[in-house]
Amino acid sequence: MKKVLITGAAGFLGSHLCDRFIKEGYYVIGMDNFITGDEKNLAHLNNHPNFEFIKHDITEFIKIDGELDYILHFASPASPIDYLKIPIQTLKVGSLGTHNLLGLAKAKKARILIASTSEVYGDPLVHPQTEDYYGNVNTIGPRGVYDEAKRFQESITMAYHRFHGLETRIVRIFNTYGPRMRLNDGRVIPAFMGQALRGEDLTIFGDGSQTRSFCYVDDQVEGIYRLLLSDYEYPVNIGNPHEISIKDFAEEIIKLTGTTQKVIYKDLPVNDPMQRQPDISLAKKLLGWEPKVDRAEGMKITYDYFKSLTAEELYKSEHKDFKNHIKS
């Protein structure tokens, strides 16, 4: 039985990856420090014979006994609310954490896949975004802590690949959604759905002309799984290329949820990208992958998940007490 370490295992994507690899017959070691992850996301695996969990901060030395075949590095704050509250930790997990995991992969002779992001493209000047686009990022802006952490993560990963011959894979993840998202993580889907469920007006930042493209989590996990097992070491976009404006998306949410609230507009955050659409030609060619779940189907599943949350989960304004986790 092959063994895989998944960091950020208690997060949205990390927990779904744990499920997928267990389903495929792997022994899974999940690792998380719960700074943004939620142990509830892994509760269904607590007694599974092919799963173990280690609570650990990957910016500290990582020790895993025995052999290890694969590492999937998904530990990182991933929403603006998180990385604006904990900017130093965001930078550390992308730099020190990645360095530690690359060292572990080298010691274990394991293949490592790192989770990068469409945010490496910044506020893009080309559209749609292809993997050979270098990006337009404000290094000292408030979003720079996340963007540059991921860009550095890609650079050090390729350095280990070239210098040490490490087997590396890099996935650039575009907007992904589905069950186990946090309602208050600041991204548009949980924000709109949470507001609808609480009877609040839907908030659009800017004039709503900015675009996004949304990939259902099962499709994203399939793309990641295929990339890990491929022979391609350079970054690959995994996302849904079907683009929609935020204004039109708000109307879709109103129709889905049957809300009667109005849409209100607020100022656009600094350096918020105006366009976000992946070119997935490379993923189609290399992996034979493209998304299968259409937005209407995926949004219905996601909304049903949010409706199942308790009143406490629906109304709480903070997911975690970040002060308990902050170090210098």
Closest residue by Cα to residue 275 from 79, 119, 74, 82:
119
Burial classification of residue 314, based on how many CB atoms lie within 10 Å of its CB (0-12 exposed, 13-18 middle, 19 or more buried): middle
For residue 128, say if its preceding peptide bond is cis, omega within 30 degrees of 0. yes
The catalytic residue positions are: 146
65: number of Cβ within 10 Å? 6
49: number of Cβ within 10 Å? 7
Q: What angle do CA 93, 95, 101 make, to 5 degrees?
A: 75
Tell me how far apart the alpha carbons of residues 207 and 265 are, in angstroms, rounded to a whole number. 7
Per the DSSP assignment, residues forming a β-bridge with 265 are 204
- Give 2's Cβ-side CA count (13 Å radius): 13
Tell me how far apart the alpha carbons of residues 80 and 188 are, in angstroms, rounded to a whole number. 11
Burial classification of residue 139, based on how many CB atoms lie within 10 Å of its CB (0-12 exposed, 13-18 middle, 19 or more buried): exposed
